[in-house]
Amino acid sequence: MLISIVIPVHNEAENIGRLIAEINMVSLNLSYQIVIVDDASNDHTAAVLSDIKKDMPHLKIVRHKEKYGQSCAIVTGVEHAEGELIVTMDGDGQNDPADMAKLISTLLDHKACRMVVGHRKKRKDSTWRFISSKIANFVRGCLLKDNTPDTGCGLKAFYKFAFMDLPFFDHMHRFLPALISMQGGEVISVEVNHRKRMQGRSKYGTLDRLWVGLIDLMGVYWLCLRTRKLSDRKMTDD
């Protein structure tokens, strides 16, 4: 089985090389490729990746001509992935590549499972980011009933076919557990390590995630509600 590790990046020239090196040191016991989606970086990210690619045939680089955001970058990466099993992680180095094996084994060991999500119990973020994430996860959990304590964790493992069947919309990556559950797939959360950002600061801001996320939350809530009603139909066959 081939694993495709999909990483969306925007202006991560300081971090991406070290992250790729860490991934290559992890023992997965399975063949893998790394798919980096450069979301229109305007620093030296493209040059760093091109240099690494020279000695790494299992590295695939896809570039957006414009910045489309994290969700679109993930979709692009999954579309270009050759593996039937996908692992996603953030490009800033806060996700620990050593946790990939745990997510993959959990996914493969549970037949009904379609996605495994990392749970960052000990987060290494700013106070504001930590509090805003806690509130968002609480509100989202109350409405969507996705039983996922940390949907914002970038470290996830899932089957490509399950992801490609999902409806696409901007910021969808925050609602993947609910969307997978809506289609009848099991979602499991496992505790993972969380580290301080290697260099620089987050390129996908907190405030835009908060306000836009509220609108998206109501849309996903409506979608899940309508889907549940359809699946709850009781029929007889004459």
Pairwise pLDDT comparison (62 vs 181), residue with the higher score = 62
Q: Is the pLDDT of residue 128 over 60?
A: no
pLDDT at 36: 98
Span 199-217, pLDDT tens digits: 656 655 444 555 456 656 6
Q: Which tokens belong to 37?
A: 């989606």
Q: Is the pLDDT of residue 156 over 60?
A: yes
State the DSSP string of the chain: -EEEEEEEESS-TTTHHHHHHHHHHS--SSEEEEEEEEES--SSHHHHHHHHHTT-TTEEEEEESS---HHHHHHHHHHH---SEEEE--TTS-B-GGGHHHHHHHHHH-TTEEEEEEE-SS--S-HHHHHHHHHHHHHHHHHH----TTTT-S-EEEEHHHHHTSPP-TTGGGGHHHHHHHTT-EEEEEE--B---SSS--SS-HHHHHHHHHHHHHHHHHHHHHHHHHHT------
pLDDT at 207: 45
Res. 233 pLDDT band, cuts 50 70 90: very low
> Which residue in the block uniquely carries the two structure tokens 């399950």?
162
Q: Which tokens belong to 71?
A: 């969700």
* Closest of 193, 182, 186, 157 to residue 232, by C-alpha: 182
pLDDT at 230: 44
Res. 104 pLDDT band, cuts 50 70 90: very high
Q: Is the pLDDT of residue 111 over 50?
A: yes
* Closest of 209, 206, 201, 205 to residue 12, by C-alpha: 201
pLDDT at 31: 95
Least confident of 152-156, 162-166, 177-181, 234-238: 234-238
Q: Is the pLDDT of residue 238 over 50?
A: no
C-beta of residue 224 within 8 angstroms of C-beta of residue 147: no
Pairwise pLDDT comparison (127 vs 2), residue with the higher score = 2
Q: What mean pLDDT do residues 94-104 have?
A: 96
Rounded Cα distance between 87 and 225, Å, is 28
Least confident of 40-44, 48-52, 180-184, 220-224: 220-224
pLDDT at 220: 62
Rounded Cα distance between 27 and 42, Å, is 33
- What's the mean pLDDT when you consider all of the chain? 84
C-beta of residue 148 within 8 angstroms of C-beta of residue 177: yes
Res. 227 pLDDT band, cuts 50 70 90: low
Q: Is the pLDDT of residue 180 over 60?
A: yes
Span 14-26, pLDDT tens digits: 999 999 999 999 9
Q: Is the pLDDT of residue 28 over 60?
A: yes
Domains of the chain by start residue, with CATH: 2-231 (3.90.550.10)
* Number of residues that this document lists for the chain: 238
Residue 224's CB is within 10 A of a number of other CB atoms, namely 19
